């Protein structure tokens, strides 16, 4: 039990400090729209993590997905990431200096944005695959209560990640009064470029192979 918790804390801290499109989006949203909006976005990220973990741990046992289907899903995902990137790059910048609490509909929108941004990001899938592999070697087959220990480890990771993302949103929100609309516009552009690059990398891995070779056996 203690080993599972300690391992979960370690992996959670490592994953939460990996900089990517989601990191920029979380900071940007917290500065631009306030703490509550940032936390809602972080909740959507956690929901996508739950889907990733569940799909990797349990889905592969019952569902056989063909390579062609994986390519189609990847292309659709890259298109969504690309569209989000363009949206951020050309979005009008504004700052909610009054820190108004968003409505229920707005909160759901931020949750959905965080979920979609992560669920179509292949980098996060790779990260979770690595973590699951590490968990399998930490708690080998035959270990007493193995499934329970792995579940505790992943629950700890998710709690740590959500807690750290909430902390990021809190401190980003505190900086809001010192940040200009022009800075937010630049941050939007960075987040948009990061999303577009992620979409192009995914397309190249799946279809064009200019920089990345096709997977073996495809």
Q: Domain residue spans in the chain?
A: 1-211
Handedness of CA 23, 28, 31, 36 (dihedral sign): negative
What is each CA distance from 77 to 42, 119, 202, in whole angstroms? 20, 8, 9
Residues 141, 41: contact at Cβ < 8 Å?
Answer: no
**Separation CA 89–CA 197 (nearest Å):** 13
pLDDT in tens, 71-125: 776 677 678 778 878 877 887 766 666 667 778 888 999 999 888 878 777 667 6
Residue 36 DSSP class: H
39: pLDDT confidence band, cut at 50, 70 and 90?
very high
Residues 20, 155: contact at Cβ < 8 Å?
Answer: no
Q: Give 59-67's long-range contacts (Cβ < 8 A, gap of 24+).
A: 67/218
Q: Which two tokens stand for residue 214?
A: 């096709």
pTM of the model: 0.66
* pLDDT computed for residue 198 by the predictor: 77
215: pLDDT confidence band, cut at 50, 70 and 90?
low
41: pLDDT confidence band, cut at 50, 70 and 90?
very high
């Amino acid at each position: 039990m203690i080993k599972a918790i300690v391992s979960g804390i370690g992996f959670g801290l490592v994953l939460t400090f990996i900089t990517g499109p989601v990191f920029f989006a979380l900071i940007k949203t917290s500065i631009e729209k306030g703490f509550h909006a940032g936390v809602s976005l972080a909740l959507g990220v956690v929901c996508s993590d739950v889907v990733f973990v569940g799909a990797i741990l349990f889905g592969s046992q019952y569902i056989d997905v063909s390579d062609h289907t994986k390519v189609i899903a990847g292309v659709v995902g890259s298109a969504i990431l690309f569209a989000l990137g363009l949206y951020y790059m050309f979005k009008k910048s504004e700052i909610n200096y009054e820190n108004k609490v968003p409505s229920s509909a707005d909160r759901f929108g931020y949750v959905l944005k965080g979920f979609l941004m992560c669920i179509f990001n292949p980098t996060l899938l790779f990260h979770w695959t690595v973590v699951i592999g590490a968990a399998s070697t930490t708690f080998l087959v035959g270990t007493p209560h193995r499934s329970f220990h792995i579940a505790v480890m992943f629950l700890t990771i998710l709690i740590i990640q959500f807690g750290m993302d909430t902390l990021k949103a809190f401190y980003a929100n505190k900086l809001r009064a010192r940040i200009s609309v022009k800075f937010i516009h630049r941050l939007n552009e960075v987040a948009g470029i990061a999303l577009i690059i992620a979409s192009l990398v995914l397309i190249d891995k799946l279809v064009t192979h200019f920089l990345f070779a096709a997977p073996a056996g495809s």
